[in-house]
Structure 1
């Protein structure tokens, strides 16, 4: 790309000299991890500079398939690949005769659902989307294997994104996995990112915690603090180490940079306690055993961390529980009715929830992992006892009513739990607790279970709408009918009679 082609862009924000093709493939892998829907990446350079090599490596890394066929679209001009994460379209504009022809190739439509990689972008002149990432590839004259990459964009966010993905590679290098393949791993409903790291003795999972600096909006950060969500990855190290110390299967941490927000840990696989979309009763019974065993032990409110600090486990305050439940009125109600809930109804909602929580104030408290349900309970085939389930996504652990996690499991947000199975698992939990202690109060636990179940379901109805509306994740809306069915089920408990009346009046 000649200098005059850069007149519409600021100066380059990054320049990298790579020694060989293997280094180019690793860079392509890193850029693939940074891509998002609607991105445009423009690749420019002379014939033979390595544009096609880089693009082919990026597409294979994005697909997680080193053997993916990537034909050159020199004659077709565009080739679109459908991936689970999102679609990628590969453009080669070398034979483009007029810049306006780019419109006939449907670039704008393709960017509605995916991202685009464009070779010879200068052929389209200024008809390409603004905010694109431009990469100039050149071959220094003194070495046939070396390549120089220069990065440009008029969108400031690209510099942060590229620096983040290169910093993740630097962390892997420090963990002796410099040449590892990074593959996107579908994460949870949080802002964290996850990757499968292949290479070395075994695969591992890299968690990228983006909450440092100004990367999280102040409103989101304020909400996280108000409901006691973990603010940095020290929580993962602290809670995980304590779970392992108590004999539970949490991922071993191989390496971590707690300040930067990177944790490389054991890969416990992807098989959960659900198979074929349906709960496996045997596996749910093992999960119940884990909860009963956990709730029969004492847990600390402060845990030492490997960096020498002490991690404080927050109490699950009534204020936090009500704030979470209020997501229902803030997001779910307007989603269905098209109008916000009036202030008087909101005030009554909060008052009734405080009253319900006061009614179970003497319920047993302990560690609450908070998302103890099928996506976070990984089945370990061949293991024995409670080791048959690996625990993940426990960083938001708080100290509160232990019935919360039982309700989270027995009314699983991600799969249909029948009333019969719920009752069977409830009885199994109660039986296990009674064997532990003759003082176990089934009636008090049953009340706490009902209140915590209703709170969690109410919260999730709000969260799933928020994920769809605010975070662009509409798939979560498919879970709403299940959660509404669960809500009807639990509101029949006597301890929730006043709240049941409120929902009858104001629930859409």
Structure 2
């Protein structure tokens, strides 16, 4: 038994779950690990987030408390060991939106409308002062990961081009999406949302993986939901949910659409870089398989008139993800040891 495994046993014993049955749950792109815990009390979820690997459970606890205070279904934190990075969480079940919709396509509209309603509700809440902003400068830096990692895997990274794009794109973000006035969860999509039909209203949507929440633009999480790297969201659903959000939030449609597509381009460029990095540095080659879908969303965003100032440079600098380029990325899996 490793020292960490023994520490988990002690944590569970102190929390009153001694002897509980443990089984692995699917992880995510981070260094966090999850287990389902079953005992006489019922079920719970163990989050194992080692600080030695750069994890910190405190933001998760803080955002959880904020979300729950607004009647949203973030999992209750039942026990915590902040120093060791252990949390025992309420088990919200296995009905991820992606699974529910795959089993019954007729559920897509009501589930996505419920998820959009969560955002409408959350965006009426004042953002705590200690939440960092997802600012245009930071967003532009993140978008340039496409040059620093995707282009690095596909061809040869060009730092001068990355810097040039970053500066031009920051100006565009300042023009169309400068506000950081709502809480954004940043990974708000069908594999981080759980359907809880026995609850009411916005509480029917279970929330996961929000520890990296920041203060950002109100269109950002809607983009995350509707331009999902892991599943195809029909454009009819995308248009319907944008209209639903605009109608119930009172924002201007044209201004919101411009911000939505500029932020969509930002998010999809960032994901191109992140997925390439997950493969080449972290050895997670399966993320490369999502890149063609992300590229398709990027082209959709670039078609909006607000993206005209950077459209040509993106398409000239970044090659489309052909099978040859995707294979090249996978050939470099786990070959770049330093970030």
Q: Distance in 2 between matches of 1:322 and 1:350?
A: 5
Q: Kindly state the Cα deviation for residue 364 of structure 1 after the two structures are TM-superposed.
A: 6.1
More helix by share: 2
Q: Which whole-Å deviations, capped at 9, do the CAs of 1:107-143 have from their partners, x for residues lacking one?
A: xxxxxxxxxxxxxxxxxxxxxxxxxxxxxxxxxxxxx
1:398 equivalent in alignment to 2:214: yes
Q: Kindly state the Cα deviation for residue 361 of structure 1 after the two structures are TM-superposed.
A: 4.9
Other-structure match for 1:334: 152
Other-structure match for 1:315: 133
Map 1:224-239 onto structure 2 (within 5 A): 232-239=56-63
Q: Is the CA contact (8 Å cut-off) linking 1:194 and 1:205 kept in structure 2?
A: yes
Q: Which whole-Å deviations, capped at 9, do the CAs of 1:335-370 have from their partners, x for residues lacking one?
A: 222x22x23312211112111111125546211111
Q: Distance in 2 between matches of 1:351 and 1:496?
A: 14
Q: Kindly state the Cα deviation for residue 314 of structure 1 after the two structures are TM-superposed.
A: 1.1
Q: Distance in 1 between matches of 2:22 and 2:318?
A: 45
Q: Which secondary structure does the structure 2 equivalent of 1:409 belong to?
A: helix
Q: Kindly state the Cα deviation for residue 471 of structure 1 after the two structures are TM-superposed.
A: 1.6
More strand by share: 1
Q: Distance in 1 between matches of 2:180 and 2:77?
A: 31
Q: Which secondary structure does the structure 1 equivalent of 2:191 belong to?
A: helix
Gap change, CA 1:209 and 1:189, over 3 Å in 2? same
1:298 equivalent in alignment to 2:158: no
Query: Aligned residues, how many?
Result: 315
Other-structure match for 1:388: 204
Other-structure match for 2:94: 270
Q: Kindly state the Cα deviation for residue 186 of structure 1 after the two structures are TM-superposed.
A: 0.9
Other-structure match for 2:73: 249
Q: Distance in 2 between matches of 1:392 and 1:430?
A: 25
Other-structure match for 2:8: 168
Q: Which secondary structure does the structure 1 equivalent of 2:238 belong to?
A: helix
Other-structure match for 1:186: 26
Other-structure match for 2:296: 485
Other-structure match for 2:173: 357
Q: Distance in 1 between matches of 2:23 and 2:145?
A: 33
Q: Is the CA contact (8 Å cut-off) linking 1:454 and 1:490 kept in structure 2?
A: yes
Q: Which secondary structure does the structure 2 equivalent of 1:203 belong to?
A: strand
Which runs of 4 or more aligned residues in structure 1 lie more than 6 Å from their structure 2 counterparts after TM superposition? none
Q: Which whole-Å deviations, capped at 9, do the CAs of 1:17-67 have from their partners, x for residues lacking one?
A: xxxxxxxxxxxxxx5xxxxxxxxxxxxxxxxxxxxxxxxxxxxxxxxxxxx
1:289 equivalent in alignment to 2:117: yes
Q: Kindly state the Cα deviation for residue 466 of structure 1 after the two structures are TM-superposed.
A: 1.5
Q: Is the CA contact (8 Å cut-off) linking 1:363 and 1:445 kept in structure 2?
A: no
Q: Which secondary structure does the structure 2 equivalent of 1:350 belong to?
A: helix
Q: Kindly state the Cα deviation for residue 322 of structure 1 after the two structures are TM-superposed.
A: 2.2
Q: Kindly state the Cα deviation for residue 462 of structure 1 after the two structures are TM-superposed.
A: 1.2
Higher relative contact order (CA 8 A, sep 6+): 2
Map 1:8-47 onto structure 2 (within 5 A): none
Q: TM-score, normalised by structure 2?
A: 0.88
Q: Distance in 1 between matches of 2:24 and 2:165?
A: 41
Q: Is the CA contact (8 Å cut-off) linking 1:372 and 1:408 kept in structure 2?
A: yes
Q: Kindly state the Cα deviation for residue 495 of structure 1 after the two structures are TM-superposed.
A: 1.5
Gap change, CA 1:171 and 1:244, over 3 Å in 2? same
Q: Distance in 2 between matches of 1:491 and 1:361?
A: 15
Map 1:85-104 onto structure 2 (within 5 A): none
Q: Which secondary structure does the structure 1 equivalent of 2:146 belong to?
A: helix
1:472 equivalent in alignment to 2:288: no
Q: TM-score, normalised by structure 1?
A: 0.60
Q: Distance in 2 between matches of 1:173 and 1:387?
A: 31
Provide structure 2 residue ranges, at least 5 long, that are not aligned to the other structure: 320-339
Other-structure match for 1:426: 242
Q: Is the CA contact (8 Å cut-off) linking 2:276 and 2:288 kept in structure 1?
A: yes
Other-structure match for 1:346: 162
Provide structure 1 residue ranges, at least 5 long, that are not aligned to the other structure: 1-30, 32-161, 222-230, 302-311, 435-439
Q: Distance in 1 between matches of 2:141 and 2:288?
A: 21
Q: Kindly state the Cα deviation for residue 443 of structure 1 after the two structures are TM-superposed.
A: 2.5
Q: Distance in 2 between matches of 1:364 and 1:167?
A: 40
Higher Rg of the two aligned structures? 1
Give the alignment partner of residue 191 of structure 2, picking from 351, 375, 395. Answer: 375
Q: Distance in 2 between matches of 1:203 and 1:323?
A: 41
Q: Kindly state the Cα deviation for residue 320 of structure 1 after the two structures are TM-superposed.
A: 2.2
Q: Kindly report the root-mean-square deviation, in angstroms, between the aligned alpha carbons of the 2 structures.
A: 1.7
Q: Is the CA contact (8 Å cut-off) linking 2:279 and 2:288 kept in structure 1?
A: yes
Q: Is the CA contact (8 Å cut-off) linking 2:136 and 2:178 kept in structure 1?
A: no
Q: Kindly state the Cα deviation for residue 254 of structure 1 after the two structures are TM-superposed.
A: 0.7
Q: Which secondary structure does the structure 1 equivalent of 2:87 belong to?
A: strand
